[in-house]
Structure 1
Amino acid sequence: MKPESGVSGVSGVPRASGAGGETPVRVGVFGLLGSGNLGNDGSLEAVLGYLRTAHPDAAVDALCGGPDVVMARYRIPATRLHWYRGEYRTASRLGSMVGKGLGKFVDVLRTAAWVRKHDVVIVPGMGVLEATLPLRPWGFPYSLFLLCASGRLLGTRVALVGVGAAAIGDRPTRALVRWSARLAAYRSYRDTLSRDALRDMGVDTAHDEVYPDLAFALPTPSASASPEQPAGAPGPVCVGVMDFHGGNDDRARAEEIHRRYLDGTTRFVRALVEDGRPVRLLTGDECDASVVAAILDAVDSPLVTASEASSLADLMKETAAADTVVATRYHNLVCALKAGTPTLALSYAAKSDALMARMGLDAYSHPAREVDPDELLRQFRELERSAPEVRRTLTERNLLATRQLDDQFTALTSALFPAAHPEHALRKAS
């Protein structure tokens, strides 16, 4: 397998989609989609919106973590990512260990068979090239490598679109990520840090571009005040929480990091309640429910409620209705910033800091590993005092993000659907 950069040298021109009896282009989407992570599903929704607008005749299906959810919510056919259903459960018994090991071999054939049926496969956004949260090499990194290797061998174009990447210390994980990126036909990133991380891991990124996170392409909700909120009263504060235990290199300190994060966040919420502020707790993944429950139990007040958002659109509506947002999960931040709400990041990775800088709010970031409730409260009050200026900045940055994502989708069409751009196909053939 010879590593390539960008699109050049990749065989397999997709069938044209359109009228005239031509076979529709076959597009697959791949990832931990429908598995409870709202950010991942929001990236999928953005790519599906692009496909339905720019390539309405494309036949689209998914290989994903939660096929039932994807089929029900997005109305596309979907196949389970792993043959072994207990892939992400700890294998403690012999039967589960054998099943998980056998699954690794079966998935080679299953992935190749699925890839072979497509002209193009898109990996929509997500932090697929990073290990900022605990990750094992034989989990998703292995699955992504199978996808990209199958695409290269079978002539199917695999595109990593608007993905996140970060430096990886674990050597097996780093090797799988590096080869996955090298074997992909197209790469773009959600921030410059991601492109730099891939370059530092030995991937030629000279022709790769950086665009805003795909979720910025989703519709923006209009703000609406809560019907229970008296006129002129301070609005709600959305606090996005996370089942945070540190990153891949923090396993030895995971519980200590979690305790400090939970204690600091709880004390901050309690301080807001003592000021008479309504607090709305947000999540971004099913695993975050335990943190919400712990805060509700510790801060026993009717002013603290929990959101039941089931999509990024729901989260955006919540953040649009808030006066201010303080959030940990990356896509909680994206939702708040896109809604134009003054936002403070409880940052757990460099990607959060990069996002806040892109949106002009780099002064409003606080480390999730070392939550200092007093300092956080000081930053929060400063943010609220600057709210009018912050809202103007976010309006400008959101308009720019929309234009840049239009460029992203135009570039994607040129790279992956040459039949829709014959002049591009001629240039590649000459």
Structure 2
Amino acid sequence: MTPAGGKPVRVGVFGLLGSGNLGNDGSLEAVLGRLRAACPEAVVDALCGGPETVTARYGVPATRLHWYRGEYRTASRAGAVAGKGLGKLVDAVRTAAWVRRHDVVVVPGMGVLEATLPLRPWGFPYALFLLCASGRLLRTPVALVGVGAGPIADRPTRALVRWSARLAAYRSYRDELSRDALRAMGVDTAGDAVHPDLAFALPAPAVPAERPAGPPGPVCVGVMDFHGGNDDRARAEEIHRRYLDGTTRFVRALAAEGRRVRLLTGDACDARVVDAILDAVDSPLVTASGAASLAELMEEAAAADAVVATRYHNLVCALRAGTPTLALSYAAKSDALMAGMGLGAYRHPAREVDADRLMEQFRELEKDAAGLRRTLAERNRSAARRLDAHLAALTAFLFPHTLPTPREAP
């Protein structure tokens, strides 16, 4: 394949990457794998939240997303407020200059068009708007690939998300709910694709055809520093306390039955919840996973008899590994994921964790484990086919001039 004009294609990747969220980084890994396979000559760099991590882990040169280093800290002093305000102006120039250096910019996965977790409009939504506006002005296509979206009540955030989506040259979503949410915001989604989450493109761990006989195996419990969504700020601490108390009681009940429990996380902030549960349960049967990537999370899930998890990408990893999974669901995206993989009956509300009811559901999950593993194997094959077809279409969009011409084709 020969890039247009004989020059390497310049590809930028953008987002809160390398910032401690394993799901975001997994989406980046999936897209980078496809980019390098489709166009190995491409020159790739990133504008992201954790540039040092992205460069060290993926070998991609990276620049810090925000000029002001305290962007995501609460500004209470005049100097901090001024720094944030100045940062907005500087970032507009920095983002445009970065976009201008590229032939195409990719936003890989992530819930960039939703507000299911606490979010300020002038943080990432503003950064995404700057990216998409710069792309339109400078004629650099911006592709939102496999992103998540959802209803947004906050008017400034909704406006920034709507305009970001409208200005993007390409959009695809990880579920139908995301496309419907943008359509409800007034975005024309008629030509937009829906496909499985990008993490389904990552290699799945090898699992035995049949589980070995013997005593019950470990249970993975994926926890989250959960305080509700963007509209729950007034009762965030109450929501967090209920979630932590219910989850702790469930873990304690598993340990009391002699079950080994591995606590999984999906973001650096989740370590606080792990520490709280370990202190409260105080059992050698309960340990914390050190997984630092989606691949490692999948390995943990594959070794477990069952998974009970909150974070969206903890669920994706468990389902991709083919392990019977119960969702502590905090958003419609989790419900849609579970239904799409044939496990829609195995959901429990994260805002109202009832340890006794959760244990009942867990027992039902284990009783149906053999059938659920067969269902997941079938659904994973289907998801892989659908995602591969979409990524092939995405490649044709991103690199139309790098594909073989009829004369070059075999």
TM-score, normalised by the number of residues in structure 2: 0.96
Contact 1:348/1:369, CA 8 A, preserved across alignment? yes
Cα offsets for 1:159-194 (capped at 9, x unmatched): 000000000000000000000000000000000000
Partner of 2:132: 148
Match of 1:129 among 113, 137, 143: 113
Please state how far the C-alpha of 1:305 moved relative to its aligned partner. Answer: 0.1
Contact 2:3/2:401, CA 8 A, preserved across alignment? no
Cα offsets for 1:336-363 (capped at 9, x unmatched): 0000000000000000000000100000
Match of 2:349 among 367, 383, 391: 367
Contact 1:223/1:317, CA 8 A, preserved across alignment? no
- Opposite residue 278 of structure 2, the aligned amino acid is L
- Opposite residue 64 of structure 1, the aligned amino acid is C
Q: How many residues align?
A: 403
Is the partner of 1:50 in helix, strand or coil? Answer: helix
Distance 1:402 1:66 in 2: 29
- Opposite residue 345 of structure 1, the aligned amino acid is A
Distance 1:205 1:415 in 2: 17
Partner of 1:61: 45
Within 5 Å, give how 1:107-118 maps onto structure 2: 107-118=91-102
Partner of 1:264: 246
Distance 1:231 1:379 in 2: 23
- Opposite residue 241 of structure 1, the aligned amino acid is V
Is the partner of 1:57 in helix, strand or coil? Answer: coil
Match of 1:194 among 163, 174, 178: 178
- Opposite residue 394 of structure 1, the aligned amino acid is L
Please state how far the C-alpha of 1:223 moved relative to its aligned partner. Answer: 4.0
Match of 1:329 among 302, 311, 332: 311
Distance 2:216 2:179 in 1: 41
Partner of 2:103: 119
Cα offsets for 1:116-163 (capped at 9, x unmatched): 000100000000000000000000000000000000000001000000
Is the partner of 2:113 in helix, strand or coil? Answer: coil
Cα offsets for 1:44-71 (capped at 9, x unmatched): 0000000111111111000000000000
TM-score, normalised by the number of residues in structure 1: 0.92
Is the partner of 1:121 in helix, strand or coil? Answer: strand
List alignment gaps of at least 5 residues for structure 2.
Answer: none
Match of 1:221 among 205, 211, 220: 205
Is the partner of 2:119 in helix, strand or coil? Answer: coil
Distance 1:378 1:169 in 2: 35
RMSD: 1.5
Partner of 1:8: none
Cα offsets for 1:71-128 (capped at 9, x unmatched): 0000010000000011111111111111111000000000000000001000000000
Please state how far the C-alpha of 1:21 moved relative to its aligned partner. Answer: 7.7
Distance 1:354 1:102 in 2: 40
Partner of 1:35: 19
Contact 2:4/2:401, CA 8 A, preserved across alignment? no
Please state how far the C-alpha of 1:417 moved relative to its aligned partner. Answer: 1.5
Partner of 2:372: 390
- Opposite residue 201 of structure 2, the aligned amino acid is A
Taking a change above 3 Å as real, the CA distance of residues 20 and 183 of structure 1, as seen in their structure-2 partners, is: closer
Aligned-pair identity in percent equals 79
Please state how far the C-alpha of 1:222 moved relative to its aligned partner. Answer: 2.0
Contact 1:413/1:420, CA 8 A, preserved across alignment? no
Taking a change above 3 Å as real, the CA distance of residues 20 and 121 of structure 1, as seen in their structure-2 partners, is: closer
Distance 2:186 2:292 in 1: 38
Partner of 1:175: 159
Please state how far the C-alpha of 1:369 moved relative to its aligned partner. Answer: 0.3
Taking a change above 3 Å as real, the CA distance of residues 313 and 77 of structure 1, as seen in their structure-2 partners, is: same
Cα offsets for 1:301-347 (capped at 9, x unmatched): 00000001111111011001000000000000000000000000000
Please state how far the C-alpha of 1:410 moved relative to its aligned partner. Answer: 1.2
Cα offsets for 1:369-426 (capped at 9, x unmatched): 01111111011000000001000000000001111111111111222221134789xx
Runs of 4+ in 1 over 6 A off after TM superposition: none
Contact 2:310/2:329, CA 8 A, preserved across alignment? yes
Distance 1:18 1:109 in 2: 32
For the pair 1:157 / 2:172, whether they are aligned, the reply is no
